[in-house]
Amino acid sequence: MTLIRALACSVVLVIALAPTSGALAENTSDHLQDELANAAAQYQLALVQAAAVQQQGVLSQENERMIAFLQSEAMRQKELSLSANGNAIEQVAATLANAERAQGDVNARNELIILQNKAALLVAHADATVANALAQNRPEEIANANAQSLFLHHLADTITSVLAETNMNNARIIAQNQADAIHGPALANQANGRAMAAAQLFAADQILAASQLAATSTGITNSVKAQAIIDHATASLRNAQAMAAAGKGQ
């Protein structure tokens, strides 16, 4: 009798547990399917997020290039301004320096004219003295007048040659010094402007080159971020698929 009762209890227990095991299997399968659906949805969302990250990278790259371009153009404009200002100042100074040299030539000609007039007066005086002595017919005075005339003619020749050349050269040297004083600083300023302009141009090129590197770096960084998002979602999806497949096989 005891054996029959034990067998009956076992049958009842099996029957009682049978629906519970089925419900558990069903619940587990539904949960795995939900996980799979969620992983698939997360994967699609990851694709959208990755695309957004990539797009943000493109915008950042364009922004880097645009900012660098504007900065570079500003520097190039400054470079043109520095160069143009230096050239303009040099041209004005060159004109003034040429005017000084021209004035030096005028002064040199005036020096020659002045000395020629002085020489002419000396010669005229000497000739008049000789003529007067001859008119008086006094040999001693004639000899003295001829001696004075010879000296004054020689002096007049010296005045119109050596002295005139010296004074003319001095006038030109003074004018050249004044021209150099005007033109020299302008040439230095022009050279300085060109050097600064070259520095501005070099800096502008460096900014463009740096922006290209920054844009490339931004693109790589965003690509890595986007790929990391996709890789994570892909791994989650594959894990959910594997678990769902394993659940079906049980």
Q: What is the mean pLDDT of each run of 10 residues along the chain (250 residues)?
A: 40 39 52 82 87 86 84 80 84 93 94 94 92 88 90 92 93 94 90 83 84 84 88 86 74
Give pLDDT, residue 168. 94
| One-letter identity of residue 78 | K
User: Which residues touch 129 (CB under 8 Å, ≥6 apart)?
Assistant: 145, 148, 149
- Cβ–Cβ < 8 Å for 195, 82: no
Give pLDDT, residue 98. 94
> pTM for the whole thing?
0.55
Read off the pLDDT of residues 151-172 as tens digits, 9 standing for 90 and up: 999 999 999 999 999 999 999 9
Give pLDDT, residue 86. 83
d(CA 134, CA 15): 177
Closest CA to 167 of 116, 123, 124, 122: 116
Give pLDDT, residue 20. 42
Instruction: Quote the tokens at residue 181.
Output: 């004083």
Closest CA to 217 of 65, 112, 76: 65
- Cβ–Cβ < 8 Å for 97, 179: yes
DSSP 159: I
